[in-house]
Amino acid sequence: MKKLLSILAASTMIISTPLSVVACKKTKTDIDNEFDYQALQQELRNSVQQIFDSNLKSDFDDYFFVDKKGGDNGVDYPFGENDVEWFRSNQGEISKLNSPESKEVQESISKIINWNKVEDEINSLILTNVNYKPILVSGKSPLKDGYYIQSLEVKENFETNDIKVIISIGANFYYLNERREIESDALNNFKTSITILNELSELSADELNKIKNDYQNALNTKANANSFVYRSDKGNLQNSAQSINDKEEGKEIYNQIGSIFDTIDNNNGEIKFNNDFLINTNRENVVDGSVDCTYPEWYWQDGNFGNKDAIETLKLALRGDKQAEDKFIEECSKNGSTWLANKVERFVKNIEELSAKYKDFAEAFNSFNLNYNLEHDTTFKISLKKSNFKLELDNESDERNYIALFRADIDDIYFEYSGKKYELPAEQIVIKQLPFTNTIALYKKFIQDSFDFQKQMLGFNDDLIQENNANYFYYLNRPHSWKTIEPTTPIPASEGLEQLLEANPEATKYLVDLDLSNCVSNTGWSNNSTFKWISFNENNDLYFYKSLLDKNYSFRLRTWFFSSGPFNMYNTYKNDFSLQWRNDFPVMKVNESVSAWKLKD
């Protein structure tokens, strides 16, 4: 539970629906907005959580199996004179954290933890990161209280007569909210265990740790660490993470892991790994291959600005001219487009040179962009400290069309020896998403599907309406639930946009193949905040707004390839498609101005 500790010093709305409607966010430099604070807080929390988890895992890894001779890599037995029988006799008391027996175990556990390593990494990776300064409390560590042992549990394995000490470790996480107040909540508890072998165990701690190490090393050979690939064209990263976990949709990865287990020394068939393990893919910390948003270079009312060929071709395409549509899609989707620009070179400096050299990837998203984002993702990079994973991009034979990186734990893994089960620690693998063709074809399909969706959603396939639509107004189907709503009634933007999409099933079908995401945002490029309300007036003009005082603004429907919005505060630097903002009909006053957006029955 969050605790408000002390006071120190235009909200946005996330839209999340089954139809992949997502919010847009502002850039990290605009830190005055509550939603930006929430996004930055989450990013900081994720990075600190990863530092916490990875260091504690490293500390406890040598103690996963112990006997009186010690554990792995020469470490001593951690519990002094307290053997299996002592733990068995004091099982109930140890779980009571204030009991003398529990405190004795806690003291032994504290000697395992090297908290200085955690603080050193926070100092070098967190406190020196200028992005985090607005939410750090006095520039100090977010884990100023250190750690605490949340719970202890002792379980006896009646098959092996061994004792398992299950340990849960927590820490308080401190940060500043948007009002410059100190808040704290708890990190997710780190959970581990120490298995204490009884003196009559068939396998020693050394032998069990060798099996554990063989398992860890097999997953982390250079070849295996870089071999996990998920084939998919879909851009919804969270849905893709769930699909990887599914034993049917992710079966290639499950089978690959099983094949790796088959290469581990099985002591002449006596050691068998289970095949009902689970893959648990992280849905929050995913790296994608997009580094910049797209910039429509046309305007509906251009004056002396904008690409006139682009807007005239777009108008013909919206009227149903197939030749014009083909030209529009081709011009918008090609590398180096001057119609729908993507300024990747601001981030990947030599992208145009690489594109000209290889001619087999889209500049909008590719392995080079993916590697750039990986290098700038603190949380993901921390998780790779002991991994042999690396995106290889130096040779002509290297794959240039990866579009996302997922990190996943292998959970519920164990091996059997002489009919007895021995659990193993969860281990992380990295999974690369690769489209079925290449990113050139994928990006073109994204532009085509987005255009088809918006053309249908905004009423340009309604011949009757288009007969008298010289101004190219957008006409959206009125949701059924809106038919009883009085004009000018404010409708929450989150549910309102969801209802508009549900009222247009012929449009949303174009989102399915690539699992695309949408939002309605303001007119800026790097400042794409969403709106709080939707309303319509008696003339069926439709408005998105934050306040009734809003004036001289416009808005646009944006279709995103990647669903990075709600989870990545830099989502303004992600590939999207829009028909551009309607500068020919700016909203001068909510509910009164003529809007380019209309409702139809």
CA distance 558 to 518: 6
**What mean pLDDT, rounded, does the chain reach?**
90
The neighbour count for residue 329, using CB atoms within 10 Å, is 21
Hey, what amino acid is at 35? Answer: F
What is the pLDDT averaged over residues 349-362?
96
Residue 582, phi then psi, degrees to nearest 5: -90, 80
What residues form DSSP beta bridges with 405?
287, 432
Per-residue pLDDT at 523: 61
For residue 510, what is the DSSP state? G
116-125, 171-180, 312-321, 527-536: segment of lowest average pLDDT: 527-536
Hey, what amino acid is at 573? Answer: Y
What is the pLDDT averaged over residues 96-112?
98
Per-residue pLDDT at 303: 65
pLDDT at 110 over 90: yes
What is the pLDDT averaged over residues 355-375?
97
Per-residue pLDDT at 526: 47
Per-residue pLDDT at 10: 29
CA distance 472 to 199: 82
- Cα 273 from chain centroid? 31
Per-residue pLDDT at 292: 87
Per-residue pLDDT at 12: 33
Give long-range contacts, CB 8 A cutoff, 24+ apart: 219-225: 219/257, 219/260, 219/410, 219/427, 219/429, 220/386, 220/387, 220/388, 220/427, 221/388, 222/388, 224/260, 225/387, 225/388, 225/389, 225/429, 225/430
Contact 341, 295 (CB under 8 A): yes
Local confidence band at 270 (pLDDT 50, 70, 90 cut-offs): confident
CA distance 218 to 264: 7
**Which value, to the nearest 10 degrees, does the dihedral of the CA atoms of residues 330, 334, 337, 339 take?**
20
Percent of residues, the chain, with pLDDT higher than 70: 91
Question: CA distances (Å), 352 to each of 336, 348, 597, in order?
Answer: 8, 9, 38
pLDDT at 7 over 70: no
Contact 254, 418 (CB under 8 A): no
CA distance 229 to 256: 10
Contact 371, 391 (CB under 8 A): yes
Burial bucket for residue 309 (CB in 10 Å: 0-12, 13-18, 19+): middle
**pTM (2 d.p.):** 0.89
Residues with Cβ within 8 Å of residue 177, at least 6 apart in sequence? 37, 41, 135, 183
Tens of pLDDT, residues 10-34: 223 333 333 444 434 333 333 344 4
What residues form DSSP beta bridges with 231?
434
Local confidence band at 572 (pLDDT 50, 70, 90 cut-offs): low
pLDDT at 568 over 70: no
Reference 460, options 316, 586, 578; nearest CA is 316
pLDDT at 6 over 60: no
What is the distance between the terminal CA atoms of the chain, rounded to a whole angstrom? 47
pLDDT at 243 over 70: yes
Tens of pLDDT, residues 211-236: 999 999 999 999 999 999 999 999 99
Per-residue pLDDT at 573: 75
What is the pLDDT averaged over residues 402-425?
94
Per-residue pLDDT at 17: 35
Torsion sign (Cα): 37, 43, 44, 46: positive
CA distance 198 to 161: 6
What is the pLDDT averaged over residues 359-376?
96
Q: Is 580 left (phi over 0), alpha (psi -120 to 50) or beta?
A: left
Contact 64, 57 (CB under 8 A): no
Tens of pLDDT, residues 445-490: 999 999 999 999 999 999 999 999 999 999 999 999 999 999 999 9
Contact 382, 54 (CB under 8 A): yes
